[in-house]
Amino acid sequence: RFPEDLEDENTTFNPEYSHQVFGDDEVAFGYKGLKILLYYIAGNLSTLFRIEYTSKVNEKFDCVEADDVESKIREIIPSGFSTNTDDFVSLLEKEVNFKPFGMLLHTYSVHNEEAGEDITYQIYKADMTCPGFREYHERLQTFLMWFIETASFIDVDDERWNYFLVFEKYNKDGATLFATVGYMTVYNYYVYPDKTRPRVSQMLILPPFQGEGHGAQLLETVHRYYMSSPAVLDITAEDPSDNYVKLRDFVLVKLCQDLLCFSPGKLMQGFSQEMVMEAQQKLKINKQHTRRVYEILRLRATDMGDAEQSRSYRLDVKRRLIGPYKKKQRELAKMRRCLRPEELTNQLNQIDLNMQHEQLEESFQQLVSDYRRVLERLAQA
Which CATH number does the domain housing residue 131 bear?
3.40.630.30
pLDDT at 59 (0 to 100): 62
pLDDT at 346 (0 to 100): 61
Give the DSSP letter string of 162-224: EEEEEEEEEEETTEEEEEEEEEEEEEEEEETTTEEEEEEEEEEE-GGGTTSSHHHHHHHHHHH
Residues 132 and 237 placed together within one structural domain of the fold: yes
Residues 89 and 110 placed together within one structural domain of the fold: no
Residues 117 and 231 placed together within one structural domain of the fold: yes
CB atoms within 10 A of CB 231: 10
pLDDT at 245 (0 to 100): 96
pLDDT at 349 over 60: no
**Is 306 part of a structural domain of the chain?**
no
The model's pTM = 0.91
What value does the mean pLDDT take over residues 110-115?
87
Residues 90 and 104 placed together within one structural domain of the fold: no
Cβ neighbours of residue 156 closer than 8 Å, sequence gap 6 or more: 128, 134, 137
pLDDT at 327 over 80: no
**Is 223 part of a structural domain of the chain?**
yes
Q: What percent of the chain has pLDDT over 90?
A: 83
φ and ψ at residue 193, rounded to 5 degrees = -95, -25
Residues 76 and 202 placed together within one structural domain of the fold: no
Residues 174 and 254 placed together within one structural domain of the fold: yes
Which CATH number does the domain housing residue 80 bear?
3.90.360.10
Structural domain total, the chain: 3
Residues 68 and 82 placed together within one structural domain of the fold: yes
**282-310 pLDDT per residue, tens:** 999 999 999 999 999 999 999 999 999 99
What value does the mean pLDDT take over residues 203-230?
96
CB atoms within 10 A of CB 367: 18
Residues 107 and 245 placed together within one structural domain of the fold: yes
Query: Domain range holding 362?
Result: 321-380
pLDDT at 352 over 80: no
pLDDT at 116 (0 to 100): 86
Residues 250 and 291 placed together within one structural domain of the fold: yes
pLDDT at 62 over 70: no
Residues 119 and 84 placed together within one structural domain of the fold: no
Residues 278 and 196 placed together within one structural domain of the fold: yes
Active-site residues, by number, are 238
Residues 159 and 278 placed together within one structural domain of the fold: yes
Mean pLDDT of the chain: 92
